[in-house]
Amino acid sequence: MKVFLRSFVVICSIVGLPLQAQTLSTVGFNLKATVISVGDGDTISIELQNGKRVTIRLACIDAPETAQSPWGKASSLRLKQLLPVGQPILERSIETDRYGRTVAEIFIGSQSINLQMVQEGQAVVYKKYLNNCNQMQQQYLDAEVFARQQKLGFWNQTNPQMPWDYRHGN
């Protein structure tokens, strides 16, 4: 896995894909949030500095459902690697979804975890909600094109079923 990630970083630098947001304003961030758990490839629980626990739905991406084997489990596992319990994060809240979850972009330093999941093929761009991530829209789209071309993760299948289509069918 380490060799794959090193290769991925090299490839991204060669083709010009950003591995992090180019500019990052800390306005609107909860600077002392920590990860409590990872639910699946696009949902986590965090604890804010005031002790409040919040469920976060990662903004602008959609990960395969856990039942979309093996892609959903792989996505969840990768997010657990990126965001282990106790990991300090920066969180930029965007909105609250219909399930009461906070929809947010998650960063470690200036590294967008949402974007990284797309770059690695562990999630897809949720175009329906991409306007919520207006500062990074093109980065998300470019990352997905790269992951598709390289057949990374979710894109390493003949006819991938989008997570939203999978949910609609079930």
- 65 belongs to the catalytic site: yes
- Region of 28 please: left (phi>0), alpha (psi -120 to 50) or beta: left
d(CA 148, CA 51): 40
- Predicted TM-score (pTM) of the model is 0.83
d(CA 92, CA 95): 10
Q: Cα-atom radius of gyration of the chain, to the nearest Å?
A: 15
- Region of 119 please: left (phi>0), alpha (psi -120 to 50) or beta: alpha
Please identify which of the residues 57, 78, 92, 120 carries the catalytic annotation: 57
Please identify which of the residues 92, 101, 105, 120 carries the catalytic annotation: 101
Domains within the chain, CATH numbers bracketed: 28-152 (2.40.50.90)
- 57 belongs to the catalytic site: yes
For each of the chain's 170 residues, which pLDDT tens digit applies? Answer: 443 443 344 344 434 454 443 344 444 555 579 999 999 999 999 999 899 999 999 999 999 999 998 999 999 999 999 999 999 999 999 999 999 999 999 999 889 999 999 999 999 999 999 988 888 999 999 999 999 999 999 999 999 999 999 998 86
- 78 belongs to the catalytic site: no
pLDDT per residue as tens digits for the range 89-121: 999 999 999 999 999 999 998 899 999 999 999
Location of structure tokens 């002790």: 51
d(CA 44, CA 63): 12
How much is the pLDDT for 29?
Answer: 55
User: For residue 4, what are the CA distances in angstroms to 11, 17, 74, 139?
Assistant: 10, 16, 15, 21
Please identify which of the residues 65, 91, 120, 144 carries the catalytic annotation: 65
